[in-house]
Structure 1
Amino acid sequence: MPAEKARVAGNLDDDDYPAYTMGRAAAALGTTPAFLRAVGGAGLVTPLRSEGGHRRYSRSQLRIVGRVRELVDQGTPIEAACRIVSLEDQLDDALRLNREMRRRLDERGTDT
């Protein structure tokens, strides 16, 4: 049983572990299940489905939906907010890749 407890504790520390039901996720974000479905429908997050077919969200997904909610609260239509968040994520990925490539080039430059 200690191994099972360790596995469960490890899952709860994992930002991508789908620990939140739709109801808990909506309550944590101060929104509605319909809002979560709309963000999912826009393809921004894809919650895991339980064996019973219920949506389950991870903390990382809740952060994404929370960012969408901030934009919607500022008056941005939900579809536009989802697109903005998607583009922000793409930009972050590109900047991270750029930093990594520069680091590798710098390392090569100091080796010669």
Structure 2
Amino acid sequence: MTAGESFDRLDDDDYPAYTMGRAAEMLGTTQGFLRAVGEARLITPLRSEGGHRRYSRYQLRIAARARELVDQGTPIEAACRIIILEDQLEEAQRINAEYRRAAASENPTTAG
């Protein structure tokens, strides 16, 4: 791997750059919270060759959202389900918008 390839990974939201300890520290939470979020299948950290959990920036954003909900009193299992449903809704809205754009380009209305 070249130095340029290493630096490219720093910009990759999906690159598992953070250890569990560092991720917990960044989120202001515990490693147990991160384990619970993983057990609820909200995020699945990559495992290093030594078997240690590694998290990406994208996964940290999801965990931070779960932390917000839990801090507001939502049970962790419910918080994880809410986030999954929010993600599914966002994806459905994106697909719907694509269909609308495609339909509009196939059937443009003409002003008269």
- TM-score bin (small chain): over 0.9
Residue of structure 2 equivalent to 1:10? 8
Question: Segments of 4+ in structure 1 off by > 2 A?
Answer: none
Q: SS where residue 101 of structure 2 aligns?
A: helix
Q: 1:52 aligns with which of 45, 50, 53?
A: 50
The CA deviation string for residues 1-44 of structure 1, in whole angstroms up to 9 with x for no partner, is xx711101111100000000000000000000000000000001
Q: 1:66 aligns with which of 64, 67, 85?
A: 64
Q: Distance in 2 between matches of 1:15 and 1:107?
A: 33
Aligned length: 109
1:109 positional shift: 1.2
Residue of structure 1 equivalent to 2:78? 80
- Letter paired with 1:17: Y
Q: Percent identity?
A: 68
Residue of structure 1 equivalent to 2:94? 96
- Letter paired with 1:43: R
Indicate whether 1:39 and 2:37 are aligned. yes
1:83 positional shift: 0.4
Q: Which moved more, 1:37-46 or 1:100-109?
A: 100-109
Which is richer in helix? 1
- Letter paired with 2:3: K
The CA deviation string for residues 38-97 of structure 1, in whole angstroms up to 9 with x for no partner, is 000000100000000000000000000000000000000000000000000000000000
Gaps of 5+ in 1: none
1:107 positional shift: 1.1
- TM-score between the two structures when normalised by the length of structure 1: 0.94
Q: SS where residue 79 of structure 1 aligns?
A: helix
Q: Distance in 1 between matches of 2:106 and 2:88?
A: 27
Gaps of 5+ in 2: none
- TM-score between the two structures when normalised by the length of structure 2: 0.94
